[in-house]
Amino acid sequence: MDKWVYRFDEVDQAEAALDNDWDQVRGLLGGKGANLGDMSRIGVPVPPGFTITTRACNVYLANDEQFPDGLTDQLDAALAATEATLGKTFGSADSPLLVSCRSGAKFSMPGMMDTVLNIGINDAILPGMVEAFGNERFVYDSYRRLVQMFGSVVMDVDDHAFERVLTEARAAAGVETDSGLDVAALSGVLERFKEIVKSETGQDFPQDPNDQLMMAIEAVFKSWNSDRAFAYRNADGIPHDLGTAVNVQAMVFGNMGEGSGTGVAMSRNATTGEPHLEGDYLLNAQGEDVVAGIRRTDPIAKLGDDMPEVYAEFDAFSRKLEDHYRNMQDMEFTIENGKLWLLQTRDGKRTAQAAVRIAVDMVEEGMISTDQALMRVSPEHVDFFLHPQFNVDSKAAAAAAGRQIALGLNVSPGAAVGMVAFDPDLAQEWAKDGKDVILGRPETKPDDVHGMLAANGIVTSRGGRTSHAALVARQFGKPAVVGAHELDIDVQGKTMTVGDVVVNEGDWLSVDGTTGEVFLGQVETKVPDIDDPWLTKLLGWADERRELDVWANADYPSDAERAREYGARGIGLCRTEHMFFEPERLPVVQRMILADTQEEREELTFSLLPYQRDDFAGLFRAMDGYPVVIRLIDPPLHEFLPSFEELVMEIADLRIALDKTTGSADGDALNAEISAKSEMLERVESLREQNPMLGLRGVRLGILRPELTRMQVRAIFEAACEVTREGIDVHPEIMIPLTSHVNELKRQREILEKEAKDVMAEQGLEVDYKFGTMIEIPRAALTADQIAEYAEFISFGTNDLTQMTYGISRDDAEGSFLIEYLSEGILDDNPFFTIDPDGVGQIMGIALKKAKATRPGIEAGICGEHGGEPRSIALCHELGLNYVSCSPFRVPVARLAAAQAAIVSK
Under the rule (CB under 8 A), what is the footprint of its own copies? 447, 644-645, 648-649, 651-653, 655-656, 659-660, 686, 689-696, 700, 703-704, 738, 740-741, 743-744, 747, 776-779, 782-783, 786, 800, 803-809, 811-813, 816-817, 820-821, 824-827, 836, 838-840, 842-843
Q: Compute the least distance from the CB of residue 205 to its own copies, in Å.
A: 51
Nearer to its own copies, 74 or 740 (CB): 740
Residue pair 854/834 in contact by the 8 Å Cβ criterion: no
Q: How far apart are CA 724 and CA 621, in angstroms?
A: 9
d(CA 426, CA 420): 10
State which residue, 388 or 695, has the beta carbon closest to its own copies: 695
- Listed in sequence order, the DSSP H helices in 783-864 are 784-787, 798-806, 810-813, 817-823, 842-854
User: For residue 294, what are the CA distances in angstroms to 255, 331, 400, 625, 877?
Assistant: 15, 21, 17, 63, 52
As a residue count, the chain comes to 906
At closest approach, how far in Å is the CB of 744 from its own copies?
6
CA neighbor of 559 nearest in space, from 619, 614, 515: 619
Please pick, among 863, 866, 876, 877, the residue that the annotation labels catalytic. 863
Closest by CA to 756, choosing from 747, 740, 767, is 767
Distance, CA of 678 to CA of 669 (rounded, Å): 14
Q: Please report how close the Cβ of residue 835 comes to its own copies at its closest, in angstroms.
A: 12
DSSP 768: -
Determine the Cα–Cα distance for residues 404 and 503; give it in Å rounded to an integer.
Answer: 13
Nearest to 519 by CA among 389, 402, 351: 402
Phi, psi at 191, each rounded to 5°: -65, -45
- 501/846 with CB nearer its own copies: 846
The residue among 96 and 702 lying less far from its own copies, judged by its C-beta, is 702
> How far apart are CB 234 and its own copies at their closest, in Å?
19
Shortest distance, position 575 Cβ to its own copies, whole Å: 18
550 vs 787, beta carbon nearer its own copies: 787
Distances (CA, A) of 310 to 43, 253, 281, 316, 790: 15, 16, 13, 10, 74
Per-residue H/E/C for 15-45: HHHCCCCHHHHHHHHHHHHHHHHHHHHCCCC
Amino acid found at 236:
D
**Amino acid, single-letter form, for residue 895:** R
| Known catalytic residue at 721 | no
Compare residues 222 and 688 and give the one whose CB is closer to its own copies: 688
Minimum distance of its own copies from residue 468's CB (angstroms):
13
- Strand runs (DSSP E) across 200-251, as ranges? 244-250
CB atoms within 10 A of CB 441: 25
Contact 696, 636 (CB under 8 A): yes
What's the min distance (Å) between Cβ of 800 and its own copies? 8
714 versus 747: smaller Cβ distance to its own copies = 747
Closest separation in Å from C-beta 814 to its own copies:
11
Closer to its own copies by CB, 170 or 852: give it. Answer: 852
Best CA proximity match to 574, nearest among 340, 733, 395, 458? 733
Q: No. of H helices and E strands in the chain?
A: 38, 33
The nearest distance, CB 463 to its own copies, in angstroms, is 19
The question of whether 468 is a catalytic residue gets the answer: yes
Other CB atoms within 10 Å distance of the CB of residue 388:
16
| C-alpha to C-alpha distance for 436 and 416, rounded to whole angstroms | 9
Q: Closest Cα partner for 791 from 802, 800, 783? A: 783
Which of 381, 468, 866, 877 is labelled catalytic? 468
Other C-beta atoms within 10 Å of 43: how many?
11
Nearest to 221 by CA among 394, 412, 442, 60: 60
- Return the number of other C-beta atoms located less than 10 Å from residue 308's C-beta: 10
User: Cα(49)–Cα(85) distance, rounded to whole angstroms?
Assistant: 10
DSSP secondary structure, 432-454, as one string: HTT--EEEEESS--GGGHHHHHH
Q: How far is the CB of 658 from its own copies (least distance, A)?
A: 9
133 vs 817 by CB, closer to its own copies: 817
- Smallest gap from residue 661 Cβ to its own copies (A): 11
Q: Are 442 and 449 in contact (CB under 8 A)?
A: no
Closer residue to its own copies (CB): 76 or 682: 682
d(CA 3, CA 14): 9
CA nearest to 767, candidates 758, 778, 775: 758
How far is 369 from 283, CA to CA, in rounded Å?
Answer: 39
| Rounded Cα gap, residues 818 and 372, in angstroms | 37
Determine contact, residues 119/212, Cβ cutoff 8 Å.
Answer: yes
Shortest separation between residue 825's beta carbon and its own copies, angstroms: 8
Mind giving me the DSSP string for 876-901? HHHHT-SEEEE-GGGHHHHHHHHHHH
Nearest to 633 by CA among 587, 580, 687, 585: 580
Nearest to 872 by CA among 829, 847, 824, 837: 837
Task: Give the residue with the Cβ less far from its own copies, 438 or 819.
Answer: 819
Phi and psi at 502, nearest 5°, equal -110, 120
Q: How near is the Cβ of 274 to its own copies at its closest, in Å?
A: 48
Catalytic residue IDs? 468, 863
